A and B are shown apart, each in its own frame.
Chain A
Amino acid sequence: MSLVYAGVLSHAPGITGRAHLVENTAKRDEFYAALDKQRREIQDSGAEALIVIAAEHFANFFMNNMPAYCIGIGSQYEGPIEDPDWLKISRTKVPGAADLATRLTREVMKTVDVAYAEEWKFDHGIMVPLHFLTPEYDLPIIPVNINCQGPPLTPLHRAWAFGKALRRACDSVPEKIAVVGTGGISHWPATPDSGKINEKWDREFLDRLMRNDKDALLSYDDIQTYRDAGQGGFEIRTFIAIAAASGGDGELQFYTAELPIFAVGCTVARFSLDRTA
């Protein structure tokens, strides 16, 4: 078994870009401490590469040719595409893992059709997690995207199948691999409603996620999610893929709806890898 860590975390650009505007600085710092703990857990796992399952925001993929799933097989990436002063993250190069990612892609393709890309520009959806999890940008990254932006979107049961395929792929190679899913739960980002959070919906979703209850997780539909959790709620696909990849119970390490200036319920969790995925 070569998957050594699985977790989830939020990626909203405000987490770094609007840190200076936060009034509840104690809660903000508690969140940052949880992210730093996640960094240490990944480091302690001995991971040689980190897969980031993200929900990008038109940094690479557009409606002219939108893949439902894509894996980065490049040797180097760059980011953020956004104004660095706005995101408060400097533009940088990030190492990839071309050979490993190519082998993983071949294995995933045995059960799930995926696109691949040797070029990839990171937006906040990946750069914010990396800022906290590999601040020196010295861990090879394998970016993965699930289209959560440009409908029609992949059904949830396919996100589950993708997570399972990724786990099988990780377990087929000798390298130690960590994987994180990054997205939001209920949120209405990039609208005038930015900061709106449905905490009740979030906690119900997180309960299902931590129990790794497949049927309950896959019972959401996008019409209900849009109504109750906003268009940002479509990003639950990344969390569901991680649940499938881990095959184990989750441990919610941090959640708060008390930082709406970040425009998302801030979340950090990890999963056990005990069960056979």
Chain B
Amino acid sequence: MSLYHLQKFLYELNRDETAQQKYRNDLETLLDDFDLSDEESNALREGDIGLLYVLGVNGQILMHYAAFLEIEWFAYLELMREGIAKHGPVRAGVYAMTGGGESFTVEGKKR
């Protein structure tokens, strides 16, 4: 159930400019509105893309959040890989890593 609330937090944040202002100015109050575990709250406080990915946040929700945090594209992909390396496989949902962590673009391989 907690993953549901974690994703809902990000869903609201991604689409609502008022929530985005609150995220920047009063994050703790915003967090209080959602039933989150300590691990989830901390991941949001730190913008921990790798952990959020492993926790099972839908990739599309997470991608929009990474864009909101102004994380560069290849860095965003690498943060997810680092999350897997640190925390293990994705725990829920359909956005698991299946490619062994390699880059599938020539542009990425050159980074």
Is the pairing of A and B real? yes
Q: A195 an interface residue at 8 Å Cβ cutoff?
A: yes
Q: A132 an interface residue at 8 Å Cβ cutoff?
A: no
**Complex Cα–Cα for A18 and B105 (A):** 12
**Complex Cα–Cα for A173 and B72 (A):** 47
Q: B96 an interface residue at 8 Å Cβ cutoff?
A: yes
**Complex Cα–Cα for A14 and B104 (A):** 14
Instruction: Quote the shortest CB–CB distance from A226 to chain B (angstroms).
Output: 7
Q: Taking A23-B106, A261-B105 as contacts, is the C-beta distance between A82 and B64 under 8 angstroms?
A: yes
Residue of A nearest to B78 (CB): A192
**Complex Cα–Cα for A191 and B62 (A):** 10
Give the one of A57, A87, A188, A190 with max B CB within 10 A. Answer: A190
Residue of B nearest to A197 (CB): B104
Residues in A neighbouring B73, C-beta threshold 8 A: 14, 17-18, 21
Residues in A neighbouring B63, C-beta threshold 8 A: 13, 57, 189-190
Residues in B neighbouring A260, C-beta threshold 8 A: 104-106
* B80 close to A192 (CB less than 8 A): yes
**Of B70, B96, B105, which is within 8 A of A191 by CB?**
B96
**Complex Cα–Cα for A197 and B63 (A):** 19
Residues in B neighbouring A22, C-beta threshold 8 A: 107
Q: B60 an interface residue at 8 Å Cβ cutoff?
A: yes
Residues in A neighbouring B84, C-beta threshold 8 A: 192
* B94 close to A195 (CB less than 8 A): no
Near A by CB (< 8 A), chain B positions 56-82 give 58-64, 67-68, 70, 73, 77, 80-81
Instruction: Quote the shortest CB–CB distance from B83 to chain A (angstroms).
Output: 9
**Complex Cα–Cα for A82 and B61 (A):** 10
| A41-49, A59-67, A69-77, A101-109 - interface stretch | A59-67
Q: A205 an interface residue at 8 Å Cβ cutoff?
A: no
Q: Which residues of B contact A (CB under 8 A)?
A: 4, 7-8, 11, 14-15, 58-64, 67-68, 70, 73, 77, 80-81, 84, 94-99, 101, 103-108
Apart from A21-B107, A82-B67, what 6 extra A-B contacts exist at CB < 8 Å? A22-B107, A58-B60, A58-B61, A62-B8, A193-B98, A261-B106
Q: List 16 A-B contacts (CB under 8 A).
A: A21-B107, A59-B14, A62-B11, A63-B8, A82-B67, A85-B70, A86-B67, A189-B59, A191-B99, A192-B80, A192-B84, A192-B99, A226-B94, A230-B98, A231-B59, A231-B94
